[in-house]
């Protein structure tokens, strides 16, 4: 079957335009910024005030006052000294403010530069494990259209009770709490204590350690995370929750799977969340063991669409299949599963286990996780269903910007990182030509980069090495260029003449073609090649993300 973008009906065009408009609302980061400021550099680079210390532990201890939309508290930051320095960068975005910083009970001098606070410390000795207490307060940014713009969502449920959640991917966790807000350094473990009005519940990451009843009609919910966690993965979810749970018998033993939903949605959730153990079975098959057995797995209902908060995956898809009831592939296969459960939980492997060091490489999160959607289908419905789905999502690709963004300024690449990334990986699976090896590569990534932050180059090199293929030009084409390779060809006198156009230097991806009676590989480059062929016409294998043009 030939994938030919040159032939499209008006009706199809209208459909594509509608879905492109819809799809743009999906991407969690849609920054259009091209001019960068000092603040962007301070936020997005490993500054001298960051690199000298390594995070080891946070205790985030806050009180949330829903009626006032106000939070206050402190973050205890424990760290290891790596090199001499006495100035520490802590990030907290306006209008939040740090009120004081203590080290060993003594106040530290603080200097503010926009969203950055410089903490002046006493002499730091290499190898020491030290800590500071950062006290802060304020009215955090309110999310207007979570999760895309981020912040606190201050909502009410249909019974008029508070329904509150945080989301801050890209924008940064420093929008609501003080921390080292750069992806390269994940804290080793975390305790989060949230004080709220009595009668509500707070659900955060990891396992519930205790609930403390206070004298002022409040209670404090404390959750402990035993694994490294990225800053934007830390979350607060407050509401009139009820809970149900199950034990999943996984590759690493029994896994607790907990579900926290609004009380009046319990029965709907018990039915819809059956996709969660199905997801776990498929993804442990493809990616290896769930990376956070010690912290359990949770789905938590929130007043926005959803997000990949580590071990506390948030859900707001309306208890329906597809993406808000829609099939992003337009094939029917996208209605076989709840998009938010499958996609956001897929991030536990790609985003939370394997985390990009710089948001410029965010395709690692979104490309692999968008690809996980069709691997879920592959596991339950077969490879043709999987191919139908991922190929159907090509209509969502805009080819507007490269998938990799500019480094060191907290700027992601194109939202094409979702489905161009997925189709790149689907294409790569064809080149590997061995599904067992392909599965070993996916599992190997999660094993060899277990709980690590990585660069795109590390991922690219790993796949090249394990597949035994030289993929430099392949990745340059799909990650760093906006053009889609086009195969130009013609058939004359039983000879096939072909070449690639719109390619980067050195791009020579082989592809499969089929005629009426045979199937064969061809090896196009930028130069014309000719081979004998006993066919009047050919089809280009649809599994390769290229365009074709018959001359």
Is residue 135 domain-shared with residue 159, that is, in the same domain? yes
**Residues 376 and 342: beta-carbon distance below 8 Å:** yes
What is the token pair recorded at 410?
């907290």
Count, residues in the chain: 551
Can you say whether the dihedral through the CA atoms of 390, 391, 396, 400 is positive or negative? positive
Residue 369 belongs to some domain of the structure: yes
- Measured from the Cβ of residue 477, the count of other Cβ atoms closer than 10 Å reads 25
The DSSP secondary-structure symbol of 404 reads S
pLDDT in tens, 317-372: 999 999 999 999 999 999 999 999 999 999 999 999 999 999 999 999 999 999 99
pTM: 0.94
What letter would DSSP give residue 25? T
Q: Are residues 169 and 195 in the same domain?
A: yes
How many other β-carbons are positioned within 10 Å of the β-carbon of residue 141? 18
Residue 30 and residue 62 share a domain: no
Overall average pLDDT of the 150-172 stretch: 97
3-state secondary structure 28-89: CCCCCCCCCCHHHHHHHCCCHHHHCEEEEEEEEEEEEECCCCEEEEEEEEEEEECCCCCEEE
Residue linked to tokens 């076989």: 336
In a domain, 84, yes or no: yes
> What pLDDT was estimated at residue 536?
83
Average predicted confidence (pLDDT) for the chain: 94
Residue 416 and residue 398 in contact, taking contact as beta carbons nearer than 8 Å:
yes
| Helix or strand (DSSP H, E) at 390 | helix 383-392
Q: Is residue 260 part of a domain?
A: no
Rounded to 10 degrees, what is the CA torsion of 384, 385, 391, 394? 180
In a domain, 519, yes or no: yes
527 and 407 within one domain: no
409-452 per-position pLDDT tens digit:
999 999 999 999 999 999 999 999 999 999 999 999 999 999 99
- Which distant-in-sequence residues (6+ apart) come within 8 Å of 253 by Cβ? 293
The more confidently predicted of residues 34 and 261 is 261
Q: Taking the CB of residue 307, how many other CB atoms lie within 10 A of it?
A: 28
d(CA 262, CA 303): 10
**Domain finish residue from 480, 507, 530:** 480
Q: What is the mean pLDDT of residues 77-87?
A: 97
For residue 359, give its domain range.
Answer: 10-37+320-480
Looking at residue 516, which CATH number applies to its domain? 2.60.40
Name every residue whose Cβ is closer than 8 Å to that of residue 350 and which is 6 or more positions away in sequence.
Answer: 287, 364, 365, 368, 369, 372
Instruction: Count Cβ atoms within 10 A of the Cβ of residue 14 and give its class: 0-12 exposed, 13-18 middle, 19 or more buried.
Output: exposed
Give me 48's structure tokens. 């001298």
470 plus 455 within the same structural domain: yes
> Rounded distance, CA 439 to CA 463, Å?
11
CA torsion 162-71-150-319 (nearest 10°) is: -20
For residue 13, what pLDDT is reported?
A: 40
Claim to verify: residue 451 and residue 334 sit in the same structural domain: yes
pLDDT of 501 higher than 90: yes
Query: Helix count (H) and strand count (E) of the chain?
Result: 12, 29
pLDDT digits (tens, 9 = 90+) for 101-136: 999 999 999 999 999 999 999 999 999 999 999 999
pLDDT score recorded for residue 32: 64
Task: Quote the tokens at residue 390.
Answer: 């991922």
The DSSP output letter for 289 is S
Q: How far is CA 385 from CA 373, 389, 391, 494, in A?
A: 11, 6, 10, 34
Which CATH number belongs to the domain containing residue 96 in this structure? 2.60.40.1730
Residue tagged 């979810």 (tokens): 237
Question: Is 246 a domain residue?
Answer: no
**Whether 51 and 140 share a structural domain:** yes
Q: What is d(CA 291, CA 295) in angstroms, rounded to the nearest whole number?
A: 9
Q: What CATH number does the domain containing 15 carry?
A: 1.10.390.10
* 539-to-381, 430, 549 alpha-carbon distances in Å: 25, 16, 11
* Residues 33, 132 within the same domain: no
**Quick one: 56 and 27 in the same domain?**
no
Return the pLDDT at 535.
82
The secondary structure of residue 485, as a DSSP letter, is P
168-195 pLDDT, tens per residue?
999 999 999 999 999 999 999 999 999 9
CB atoms within 10 A of CB 89: 20
Please indicate, yes or no, if residue 493 is contained in any of the structural domains: yes
Residue 492 has pLDDT above 90, yes or no: yes
State both tokens at 484.
């889609």
Q: Coil, strand, or helix at residue 228?
A: coil
Burial 163-202 (b: 16+ CB within 10 A, else e): bbbbbbbbbbbbbbbbbbbbbbbbbbbbbbbbbbbeebbb
Rounded to 10 deg, the angle between the 435-448 and 419-432 helix axes is 120
Going from the C-alpha of 292 to that of each of 168, 285, 453, 491, the distances in angstroms are 21, 16, 16, 55
pLDDT at residue 515, rounded to an integer: 85
Answer yes or no: is 107 within a domain.
yes
443 in the same domain as 392: yes
Q: H or E stretch including 313?
A: strand 313-315
Q: In which order are the strands placed within the sheet that holds 70-81?
A: 106-107, 97-103, 129-138, 70-81, 53-65, 189-197, 218-225, 207-213
pLDDT at 214: 98
- Residue 135 maps to a domain: yes
Residues 439, 509: one domain? no
28 & 93 share domain: no
- pLDDT band for 516, please (50, 70, 90 cuts): confident
Name the domain boundary from 223, 239, 255.
239
Domain boundary among 435, 458, 480: 480
Q: What is the pLDDT of residues 2-57, one digit of tens each?
A: 223 333 333 344 344 444 444 444 444 545 667 899 999 999 999 999 999 999 99
First-to-final CA distance of the chain:
18
Beta bridge partners of 226: none
What's the structural domain count of the chain? 3
Closest C-alpha among 313, 339, 314 to residue 326? 339
């Amino acid at each position: 079957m030939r994938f030919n973008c040159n032939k499209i009906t008006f009706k199809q065009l209208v459909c594509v335009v509608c879905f492109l408009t819809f799809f743009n609302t999906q991407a969690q980061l849609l920054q259009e910024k091209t001019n960068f400021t000092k603040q962007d550099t301070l936020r997005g680079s490993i500054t001298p005030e960051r690199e000298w210390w390594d995070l080891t532990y946070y205790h985030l201890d806050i009180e949330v006052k829903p009626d006032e939309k106000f939070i206050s508290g402190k973050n205890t930051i424990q760290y290891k000294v790596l090199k001499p320095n006495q100035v520490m960068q802590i990030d907290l975005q306006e209008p939040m403010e740090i009120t004081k910083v203590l080290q060993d009970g003594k106040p530290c001098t603080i200097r503010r530069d926009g969203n950055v606070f410089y903490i002046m410390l006493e002499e730091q000795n290499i190898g020491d494990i030290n800590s500071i207490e950062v006290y802060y307060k304020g009215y955090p940014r309110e999310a207007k259209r979570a999760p895309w713009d981020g912040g606190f969502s201050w909502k009410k449920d249909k019974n008029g009770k508070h329904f509150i959640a945080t989301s801050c991917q890209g924008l940064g966790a420093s929008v609501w709490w003080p921390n080292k807000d750069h992806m390269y350094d994940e804290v080793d473990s975390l305790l989060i204590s949230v004080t709220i009005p009595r009668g509500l519940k707070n659900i955060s990451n990891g396992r519930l350690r205790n609930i403390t009843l206070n004298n002022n009609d409040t209670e404090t919910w404390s959750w402990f995370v035993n694994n490294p966690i990225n800053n934007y993965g830390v979350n607060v979810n407050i509401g009139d929750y009820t809970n149900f749970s199950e034990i999943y018998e996984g590759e690493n033993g029994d896994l607790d799977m907990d579900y926290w939903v609004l009380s009046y949605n319990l029965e709907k959730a018990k039915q819809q969340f059956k996709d969660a153990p199905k997801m776990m079975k498929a993804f442990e098959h493809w990616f290896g063991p769930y990376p956070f057995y010690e912290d359990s797995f949770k789905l938590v209902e929130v007043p926005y669409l959803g997000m990949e908060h580590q071990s506390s995956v948030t859900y707001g898809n309306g208890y329906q299949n597809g993406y808000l009831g829609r099939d992003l592939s337009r094939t029917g296969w996208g209605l076989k599963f709840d998009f938010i459960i499958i996609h956001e939980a897929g991030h536990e492997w790609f985003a939370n286990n394997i985390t990009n060091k710089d948001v410029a490489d965010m395709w690692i999160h979104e490309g692999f996780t968008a690809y996980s959607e069709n691997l879920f289908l592959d596991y339950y419905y077969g490879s043709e269903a999987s191919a139908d789905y991922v190929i159907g999502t090509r209509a969502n690709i805009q080819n507007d910007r490269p998938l990799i963004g500019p480094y060191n300024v907290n700027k992601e690449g194109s939202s094409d990182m979702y489905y161009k990334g997925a189709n790149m990986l689907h294409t790569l699976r064809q080149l590997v030509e061995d599904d067992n090896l392909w599965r070993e590569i996916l599992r190997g990534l999660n094993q060899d980069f277990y709980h690590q932050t990585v660069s795109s180059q590390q991922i690219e090199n790993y796949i090249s090495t394990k597949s035994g293929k030289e993929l430099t030009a392949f990745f340059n084409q799909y990650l760093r260029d906006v053009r889609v390779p086009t195969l130009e060809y013609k058939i004359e006198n039983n000879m096939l003449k072909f070449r690639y156009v719109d390619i980067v230097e050195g791009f020579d991806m082989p592809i499969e073609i089929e005629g009426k009676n045979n199937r064969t590989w061809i090896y196009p480059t930028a130069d014309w090649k000719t081979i004998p062929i006993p066919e009047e016409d050919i089809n280009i294998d649809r599994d390769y993300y290229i365009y074709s043009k018959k001359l």
